[in-house]
Structure 1
Amino acid sequence: MESVFRIILFIMLMGLLMSPGGNRYTPLSRKEKRQLEQLVANHKFQADRLRNHNAHDYTFGNLTGFTFGYTKPRKGDKRQQLGCRDEGDKVSLFPQDVLNEASSYWKNEKGLYLRNISGVVRGDWTGPANDTQKLLHIPMPVSQQNWTWHPHNHSVSITPLPIDPDDDGGDEGEQRINGNITAVDGKVELDFIDAIPSYVNQRILSSYFANHTVPKELEAFADVNVVTCTAQLMGQESDSELHTVVLRGLHFKHSGNVIMTTHSAKFWGYEALAGMLAEIMQTADRSRESTDDAFNTTKEAMMPIIERHLSIIGDTDQAVPVSEMEQEAAASCEYIGVLHVDSVDANQYSGIDLRNIESELQYPVGRPHKRPPRLQMSGVLYSPDCGKKMTVGDAKGLLWNASLMKQNHVVVAVIFLGIINTLLLAFQMQKASTPSLCSRVSIWSIGVMSMMDGFMCMFSLMAILYRTQPQLQFTALAFVSFTYVSLFGLRFMLNITLSQIPEEFARPAAIQTPGGNAQDNTPGGDDTLPVTETQPAATPFIPSDADVSTALYGRFYFCLLAFVIVTTVTYGMTAPRRYVMEYVIVLGMASLWLPQIYRTAYRGTQQAPLAWYFMIGSSFTRLLPLYYVCLVKDDVFRHRIDRILPTLATLWIALQLFVIYAQHKFGPRFILPQHILPPIYDYHPIISQDDIESGSYGALFENAANGSLEDAHTDCSICMNPVELVVQTSDEQNNMDPAKLVARRQYMITPCRHVFHTDCMSNWMIRKLQCPVCRNPLPPM
């Protein structure tokens, strides 16, 4: 049966491996190729039109996405209206208030600016102040049926759709369109990649670095960098409404200005970027010369991007149909961004300092430099087709390379914490190396800590899989976490499980001895001393080590997988629910010593099973990452500041450690009622004369059967020396000699009625919980 199962499994695996992939390329039909050729031809026509015009005579014409716009308001009428754009360019894509706000961010002041703004900034955004500033939705038709191809001038015209001036576009479908956020304010994260595009001719770059001169093809990049920005837009109260928008544009190095736009089949932002910048600068009353220079610089810098885009979509052998491009474009909002990067404090940095910092961050060789300045910017994001305006105020962050160094430090610190945890567990395993000591440890306490490191290992592997920087440090972290779990954690849990199995067969029903009215003066002792009446029983079935390990490993990895799933689902919840789940998960993980408290009380173990250096050290290393995530501002995990969560976790762990200390000082059951826990077997029972006469101890007191209590002794099976027993006479039923209460601690009687010295049996039970004579399982001591 097993061989048949293996054959079926092999056939299934071969079928999966030999099955074709799900992303096979489907060739374009003749109609789709013709549509694609028309689209590329129109792009080239618009690119040539842009190349041959200046700022003062350039109009958008039939550029896709610019057919409609805001008309100039009439005298005495401040109401915004939409109209159709014509060659006279009397219609603007920007409403007047957005145009004024965008021009206010396009500054021309001199200062010390970062030449590379690759990094991540986070801040808040706000929408229009009131309903009167609500923006209209500019229609951008993308349906291929509205296209009309004009072969004589290589252009495409779009049939205008009728527009209702009273229609603001409505809110229909706002939840389904990416970027059409419904909140009035929220948070924003801007991830910039600022560099000369890699698709610029490598020969040009080689010539630049060889001759140390700027060739004509790169003159446009002397003052600007191509910037790609991934904007994460979310609401203020609930970040479940998350929208991701990718924009591309230019960063002007000497002024800190940034202009960028999206580009799709319904909005050709790359071809229009220079014209939009000219419109913004004219609104800001910039001189004609400066406007022409910015227009020409933008035009020359965007031409390689446009050509690269055409080479991608124009490859008819691997291209995507125009209909799919339009469907993707219709499901997203188009955005235009105008931002200004604040200058660096000249009192702290000089131009040489800034260049050394940027050079070291980009090409690290170990040169000393000052601390990199923070990246700070503000601006406006505007979506014409979705009617959204977002004012971004005082967004702050770190340069990408500086943030990468910060991530390196955090990951390395976690690696050291993992090494410390591994050493602590190794020392604890060495101390609790015998079955008796292992049986006192709670498997759940070790399991919770192993679960944390297992989650860290899986997190590191996912970071490596998705090529998250820094990969080398994440690889080391995955190795350390895997070592903790596989070589130490699971092994220790297996030893604990194997040592606790005999306890299930060594807990017979307990009864009180005839002398049960005697008092036990030991801490945590019972008023009555239970003794067990044992009868010969069949040998219990004890599972093999392989079966136990298989069950243990399966349960652990199942729990680990469930924990990962719950954590992943929690990350995607809305903010209020996620906050509650964070408290539940963190406090649940902080309850790592609670199972040990229960285990100690259940077994009635007086001696602390775990070393204090292990408990305190493990608690401290588990709390340190929580302190960093919740208390450090701008942490790499982007968590909010929360002082309550680490405080509760610290107090909760401290309370558990205090209870463990109290159990060691005052007894394992110092605060619990005796009836709620199972009775503890007493290895030092008080032997009464009635027990001897009734034969409860079998042949142990054959010499005392005739009433001679002085002959009540036997030999220890370990050291073979006599054992003096204490027998309670009938005269001592109510008032036993205290010396005898102390003397009974010198011997131990097992449930199978074998007698040993206390020292001999204690040393034996540290190694094995079995009777040295008959090999029957013994209850814990």
Structure 2
Amino acid sequence: MANSPPPFLFLLVIFLFLYLSPDPQAPIASRKLDRVLDHERHALDTLNNSTFGDLLDDQHTLNLTGLRKDHGFHWDLLDPVRDRARDQAGYVLGEDTVGLIDGSSDRRPLVYHNVTGFVQGTWRSTKTYAGPHLNLSAITPHGTYSSEEWTRNVTSAAGDIRIHFGEKDHGEPWNTTARRLVARVTIGEDTAYGNWWDMRLHGYHLEDSGTIVLTTTSEKFDGIFALPHFSLSKHAFTLGQELLNRTLNATMEKQKSGEIDDFSPWSSVVEGEQELFSLPHCEYVMYLQQHPLPLHPLESSAVGNGLAMKFFEDELRNPYRISPKLPPEMVMSMVAFSPDCGFVIESNGPPDVSPQEGKHLVGPKTEAYAIVARRHIILFALVIGSQLVLLVRQMKEASTPSTRSRISFYTIALLALGDGFTLLGFAFVGMSYEAITLILLATAYVAFLSAVFFEIAENENNANTTDNERSSRYGFGTVYFRFYLLLFGLVFLSLHATTWPSSLQAVYSTLLIFTYFSFWTPQIYRNAMRNCRRALRWDYVAGQSVLRLLPFYYLFAYPGNILLLKPDLTFLAALTGWVWLQVCALLSQEHLGPRFFVRESWVPPAYDYHPVLRADEEGACLPSGGKVLAGEDSGLANSSSPSASKAGESRDKGKKVFDCAICMQDLEVPVVPAAGLSSGGDADGGSAAAAALSGGLLARRAYMVTPCRHIFHSVCLEGWMRYRLQCPICRETLPPL
């Protein structure tokens, strides 16, 4: 029989076939790119041949998608919104507002020239039409929508907004007063469903006045090409037109050369959140006015303020000394409207709203955010380090097979999953934010140690094994493989969940968090099934509970958290209550018995080391010599062990004294009279038995009786059984705790 070709050759042929085959979509993509470039050139030519005011002039028509008269957009909102934006600028800039807007004033306010960072706040709706009534088939003849429901359509009266700014250039030589600006806007409604939408807006930032104009762009709205027409003055229109003429041409050249592989580089859809089905969405035009900073200028002139801000921002970017003070936060007024959906929203703040109800949009610059993030991440690293210390102490406590068998694997797995999430999350974020990469990766390494520490200990303990033990260790390898597979699967699912609707995101995150904080539930279950208690140190249980809740207290109770989450004390109280219930269950199992809240038929039979002791009806001895377990019918053999030498001695009614063979000290135990458990006993015996049964629950935890009927102090026998599962007296095998 001829030898078959090696599998490698077969795989190589398949790889070459797939790699060298021409892309059938290439001609289609090329034709689409040509069509897109033709449309963009036409739109740019329209912008260059237009003048300020053509948008609302009945004698002129801007031949741009969404701006023609027959498209039905609500452009009658533009003038009122611009007037409102001028009013907001006048409130913060004062008497020089008109001169700053039209470029005739020499004074310059102290505002950031580079606004990279975050701002967030609340908004209110001031005007709303009945809703979008557009002929989408006429506006976008090449596009089809899978639903008539519009996204980003604000219908509530109030909500929250967060804006992340990223500037594309830093003062080009040909234009030192206007900068390209890209903003990721997250807007949410204050409703029971909590709708949230993410979108990307493009625009420009005028450094002299601190004015920002942004707009969305899509196949039904050429927002970026009409951006200068949304300006507050002719001066701003000229600056914006010059800026866009250069930047848009440069972007189109990159599209043509293939440097940019995107048919719509100005799309409002956030990168990585492309929709599976095409849905119509509302367009936005947004005006932001930066408030002056509480700084002292070098002199009251344009040159003085310009130099002051230049020195100040250079110091922020390249600090030459450590300053205990953080730079002032950015404060911005906002007014926005949707030309197709017909609503207007404004930020809440003075003078229309009291400072207690809102201070417009407030947030840190990127440099200040990085400083705060470093400090908070260091504190989080200390929390993880404390968890690691508790873990090491618990591992020393569980250093024997007897103690290790009491611990639930799933409890440790849930705790390790949380550390694994921290590891991967910090690693991903560290690759994106260069300013805090080092501290993030260092913290991720500490979380990595916490996640794999039990695996390392298990491998060291099994270094010298027999063949059967090696197969058991290989079984542990399978468990670890499944653990890491689950970890990476949950991480990728969580990343994908960021593209889900806000309601589904809330359900998923809540379910994931409460599942993670159920880490003591498997231990409670194992205690009940094995009838064991004190599997974990109490400092470990309390410490891990508190330390793992601390980051969530920071995120949901501290308004200045680095994730910019809103405080949610109700959710935090529910989470704390759930962990507290689990700890109380473990505490009750410690003192009242592992199965005190479980029906006997629900769990397998297990030996009880803390039985009810009753006197022997025939006067025989108790442990080692008497009947021990209430209700047992099996005969008990006599014993001549030292532990029974004082079995008949009694210090008080209903109590007996024995010798503990481990510590050689007296052991006083409660005893139920034998007559009290029989049907023919007298009233005194029955009352004594009832009192012993009801009040001796905690007293029974002080002693332990082995299956061979030897009695010891609980502390003594538990310490012995950590190393040997044999009776200290007769060497009979003992069931594990």
- What is the TM-score when the length of structure 2 is the normalising length? 0.68
Q: Paired residue for 2:364? A: 398
CA RMSD of aligned residues (A): 5.6
The reply to whether residue 117 of structure 1 matches residue 115 of structure 2 is: yes
Which structure has the bigger radius of gyration? 1
Superposed displacement of residue 397, structure 1: 1.8
C-alpha displacement of 1:618: 1.9
Q: Tell me, yes or no, if structure 1 residue 686 matches structure 2 residue 623.
A: yes
Confirm or deny: 8 A CA contact 1:240 1:574 kept in the other structure: no
**Correspondence 1:723-742 to 2 at 5 A:** 724=642, 726=644, 738-739=656-657
Tell me how far 1:121 sits from its aligned partner: 1.6
2:63 is the counterpart of 1:63: yes
- The one-letter code matched in structure 1 to 2:393 is F
Q: Is the 8 A contact 1:60 1:275 kept in 2?
A: no
Can you give the 5+ residue segments of structure 1 that lack an aligned partner in the other structure?
71-80, 84-90, 147-170, 201-216, 282-290, 499-540, 702-708, 714-722
Q: Which deviations, in whole Å up to 9, do the C-alpha atoms of 1:483-522 show, x marking residues without a partner? A: 111123x456889999xxxxxxxxxxxxxxxxxxxxxxxx
Cα distance, 1:312 vs structure 2: 3.0
Distance 2:297 2:198 in 1: 36
**Contact conserved, 1:237 with 1:575, CA < 8 A, in 2?**
no
- Classify the secondary structure of the residue corresponding to 1:470: helix
CA contact (8 A) 1:117 1:194 kept: yes
Deviations 1:546-581 (A, max 9, x none): 244135324534654676578668767766776676
Q: Look up the match of 1:336.
A: 285
Which amino acid in structure 2 is aligned with residue 412 of structure 1?
A: I
Task: Determine helix, strand or coil for the equivalent of 2:345.
Answer: strand
- 1:773 CA drift (Å): 12
Distance 1:104 1:140 in 2: 38
**Alpha carbons 1:238, 1:575 under 8 Å: kept:** no
Question: SS in structure 1 opposite 2:335?
Answer: strand
2:247 to 305, 319, 328: 305
Distance 1:592 1:337 in 2: 46
* Aligned: 1:252 with 2:252: no
Deviation digits for residues 448-499 of structure 1 (CA, Å, limit 9, x no counterpart): 32222122223234435666873333322332222111123x456889999x
Q: Distance in 1 between matches of 2:714 and 2:34?
A: 97
Q: For 2:89 and 2:137, how far apart are their aligned partners in 1?
A: 27
1:625, distance to aligned residue in structure 2 (A): 0.5
Distance 1:648 1:23 in 2: 58
What is the rounded CA distance, in whole Å, between the counterparts of 1:765 and 1:383 in structure 2?
Answer: 73
Query: Paired residue for 1:379?
Result: 334
Which residue of structure 1 aligns with residue 42 of structure 2?
A: 42
**Residue equivalent to 2:447:** 481
For the residue of structure 2 that corresponds to 1:275, the secondary structure is helix
- 3-state SS of paired residue (1:396): strand
C-alpha separation between the residues in 2 aligned to 1:335 and 1:571? Answer: 22
Q: Is the 8 A contact 2:530 2:606 kept in 1?
A: no
Amino acid at match of 1:686: P
1:101 aligned partner: 84
CA 1:353–1:776 in structure 2 vs 1: closer, same or farther (change >3 Å)? farther
- Note if 1:236 corresponds to 2:190: yes
Structure 1 counterpart of 2:537, from 596, 599, 611: 611
Q: Distance in 2 between matches of 1:559 and 1:545?
A: 21
Question: CA separation of 1:22/1:138 partners in 2, compared to 1, >3 Å: closer, same or farther?
Answer: farther
Q: Secondary structure at 2:722's aligned position in 1? A: helix
Letter in 2 for 1:294: A
Look up the equivalent residue of 1:680 and give its one-letter code.
Y
Runs of at least 5 residues in structure 2 that lack an aligned partner in the other structure: 91-95, 98-107, 300-304, 349-359, 612-621, 666-703
For 1:494 and 1:581, how far apart are their aligned partners in 2?
35
* Shift in CA distance, 493/348, structure 1 to aligned 2, threshold 3 Å: farther
Q: Give the Å deviation of 1:385.
A: 3.6
Quick one: which amino acid aligns to residue 738 of structure 1? K
- Other-structure match for 1:175: 149
Matched residue type, 1:553: Y
SS, match of residue 175 in structure 1: coil
8 Å Cα contact 1:138/1:385 also seen in 2? no
CA deviation vs aligned residue, 1:273-313 (integer Å, no higher than 9, x gap): 33332xx43xxxxxxxxx3x333323322222122133134
Between the aligned partners of 1:624 and 1:30, the Cα distance in structure 2 is: 54
Q: Which residue of 2 aligns with 1:186?
A: 159
- Distance in 1 (CA, whole Å) between partners of 2:505 and 2:238 is 50
Aligned to 2:472: 545
Change (3 A) 1:635 1:602: same
- Report the AA paired with residue 432 of structure 1: A
Query: Which range is displaced more, 262-271 or 134-143?
Result: 134-143
**SS of residue paired to 2:49:** helix
> How do 1:767-778 residues align onto structure 2 when only pairs under 5 Å count?
767-769=723-725, 778=734
CA offset digits 1:233-258 (Å, max 9, x no partner): 33322676443332222212232211
Q: Does 1:450 align with 2:404?
A: no
- Superposed displacement of residue 122, structure 1: 1.9
Percent sequence identity over aligned pairs? 21
Where 2:364 maps in the other structure, the secondary structure is: strand
SS at match of 2:26: coil
Q: Does 1:626 align with 2:552?
A: yes
Relative to structure 1, the CA distance from residue 746 to residue 347 in structure 2 (aligned partners, 3 Å threshold; closer, same or farther) is same
**C-alpha separation in 2, matches of 1:767 and 1:446:** 22
Equivalent residue, structure 2, for 1:780: 736
Higher relative contact order (CA 8 A, sep 6+): 1
Aligned-pair CA distance for 1:424: 1.6
Partner of residue 637, structure 1: 563
Distance 2:721 2:311 in 1: 68
The answer to whether the Cα contact below 8 Å between 1:687 and 1:727 also exists between their aligned partners in 2 is no
Is the CA contact (8 Å cut-off) linking 1:174 and 1:180 kept in structure 2?
no
2:444 partner amino acid:
A
Query: Taking structure 1 as reference, are residues 629 and 320 closer, same or farther at Cα in structure 2, changes over 3 Å only?
Result: closer
2:676 maps to which residue?
A: none
2:383 to 417, 429, 437: 417
Question: Contact conserved, 2:36 with 2:263, CA < 8 A, in 1?
Answer: yes
TM-score, length-scaled by structure 1: 0.64
- Do the aligned partners of residues 396 and 13 (structure 1) sit closer, same or farther apart at CA in structure 2, a change above 3 Å counting? farther
Q: State the AA in 1 paired with 2:387.
A: N
Instruction: State the number of aligned residues.
Output: 629
Q: State how far apart, in whole Å, the 2-side matches of 1:126 and 1:460 are.
A: 35
Distance 1:736 1:126, change over 3 A: closer
Q: For 1:388-423, what per-residue CA distance to the aligned partner results, in whole angstroms no more than 9, with x for missing partners?
A: 433344222221222232233333322221122112
Q: Secondary structure at the match of 1:234?
A: strand
Paired residues of 1:118 and 1:192 also in contact (CA < 8 A)? yes
